[in-house]
Amino acid sequence: MTAYIDNAGAWQASWDRQQEEYLPDREQRFAAMLDAVATVTDGRPPRLLDLAGGTGTISLRTLARWPDATATVLDQDPVLLTIARSTLRDRATVIAADLNDPAWTTSLPRGDYDAVLTATALHWLPEQRLTTLFEEILGVLRPGGVFINADQMPDDAIPELSKRLLAREDARREARQSAGTALSWQGWWDRVRETEAFRTQIAERDLIYPPGRTTHTEWLPPASWHVEALRAAGFTEAGTLWRGGVDAAVVGVR
Ligand SMILES: C[S@@+](CC[C@H](N)C(=O)[O-])C[C@H]1O[C@@H](n2cnc3c(N)ncnc32)[C@H](O)[C@@H]1O
C-alpha cells in the first residue's frame, strides 16, 4: 500500500526553505531550466524525467507551468519519495531506483522524454559512474530532447575567485544558522527523525544512507568537465545554460 503523509505541503515548503539556504538562487535556476524545456516542445506540455528528484521539486514547478505535463520523479530516498508521492498524488509517477545501478532505466520508456532535469544531486555519484550515466540518460531522451544538470560546477577560468565566492556563501550561511534564523540540512533531517509518520521510511533510508557516513563525493568538477563529458556521451550540443556564482546548469541536447 502506498504510504501518504497528511501534511506533505508543509514538509515540501520546509524542504524548499532548507535548500534555499544553500542555493539562494534556486528558483532562478529552475526557471532557466524550464525556459530551455519550453524551446524544445513547441508549446506542447513536456514529458519530463525529474532525476534524483527528491520531493519532486522540479516536477511541481513543471506542473505549475504546464498542468498537462507528464512528470516522473525518480530517486532512492524513501523519506523524500514519500513527500513527493503525498504532494503529487496522481499528477506524477514516482519511482524508487538507485542511479548507481545501470538497471535504473528498466522501468522507463526509451527515447521518449523531452527533458531529463536534475538539480543538486549528481555530485553524490562517483566520476566513473557519472560518465556512463550520461550515456544512459541519452538513451531515455527523444531526439532533440534536453538533459539539464544544475549543481556546483565552478568556472575553471576563475579558480581563486570561485574559492572566495564559495567561502563567502559558507560564512553567510553559517552565520544565519548559528543565529538560529536558518534551517540546516542536519536540522531538517533531525525534524524528520522526530516525526512518527516517517518511522518506517527513516529505517529504510538508514540502510541506503547509513547515518554518520557522507552521502556525496567531494569531487566537484568544473562546468567545462561536464560539457566535455556530455559531448563524449554523444549529446549533439552541450554547453552552459545558466550560471550563479560557483553553481551552473549544464545542458546537453540529444
Ligand atoms: C540535495 S537532494 C536534491 C533533490 C531535488 N533535486 C531538489 O533540488 O530539491 C539530492 C537528491 O539526490 C538523490 N540521490 C543521490 N544519489 C542517488 C542515487 N544513487 N540514486 C537515486 N537518487 C539519488 C538523493 O536521494 C536526494 O534526493
User: DSSP for the chain?
Assistant: -----TTHHHHHHHHHHHHHHH-TTHHHHHHHHHHHHHHHHTTSPPEEEEET-TTTHHHHHHHHH-TT-EEEEEE--HHHHHHHHHHHGGGEEEEE--TTSGGGGTTS-SS-EEEEEEES-GGGS-HHHHHHHHHHHHHHEEEEEEEEEEEE---TTSHHHHHHHHHHHHHHHHHHHHTT-S--HHHHHHHHHT-GGGHHHHHHHHHHS-TTS-SS-S----HHHHHHHHHHHT-SEEEEEEEETTEEEEEEE-
125 Cα: distance to centroid of ligand 1 (angstroms): 10
The residue nearest atom 23 of ligand 1, judged by CA position, is 52
Give ligand 1 pocket residues (Cβ under 6 A): 19, 52-55, 57, 75-77, 80, 98-100, 119-121, 124-125
pLDDT tens-digit map of 98-140: 999 999 999 999 999 999 999 999 999 999 999 999 999 999 9
C-alpha cell of 195? 516525526
41 Cα: distance to centroid of ligand 1 (angstroms): 26
Whether residue 1 is contained in a domain is answered as no
Whether residue 236 is contained in a domain is answered as yes
Whether residue 21 is contained in a domain is answered as yes
C-alpha cell of 124? 553524490
When divided into structural domains, the chain yields a total of 1
pLDDT tens-digit map of 217-226: 778 999 999 9
Whether residue 221 is contained in a domain is answered as yes
53 Cα: distance to centroid of ligand 1 (angstroms): 6
Neighbour tally for 70: CB within 10 Å? 19
C-alpha 218/C-alpha 220 separation (Å) is 6
Which ligand 1 atom sits nearest the alpha carbon of residue 98? 20
Question: What contacts 187, CB < 8 A, 6 or more positions away?
Answer: 18, 177
Whether residue 58 is contained in a domain is answered as yes
Whether residue 3 is contained in a domain is answered as no
In this prediction, residue 252 has a pLDDT band, given cuts at 50, 70 and 90, of very high
* Model pLDDT, residue 224: 98
In this prediction, residue 1 has a pLDDT band, given cuts at 50, 70 and 90, of low
β-strand pairing of 247-253 with 141-152: antiparallel
Which ligand 1 atom sits nearest the alpha carbon of residue 80? 27
Whether residue 72 is contained in a domain is answered as yes
Which ligand 1 atom sits nearest the alpha carbon of residue 15? 9
Domain interval for residue 137: 8-253
Query: What is the domain-level CATH number for residue 217?
Result: 3.40.50.150
**Long-range interactions of 209-214: CB distance < 8 A, separation 24+:** 209/77
156 Cα: distance to centroid of ligand 1 (angstroms): 25
Rounded to two decimals, what is the model's pTM?
A: 0.97
Q: Give CA separation, 21 vs 9, 81, 101, 125, 172, in Å.
A: 19, 21, 31, 22, 10
Task: Give, for ligand 1, the residue of 59, 77, 129, 132 to mutate: max count of ligand atoms closer than 8 Å to Cβ.
Answer: 77
* Model pLDDT, residue 180: 87
With a cut of 70, say whether residue 169 has pLDDT above it. yes
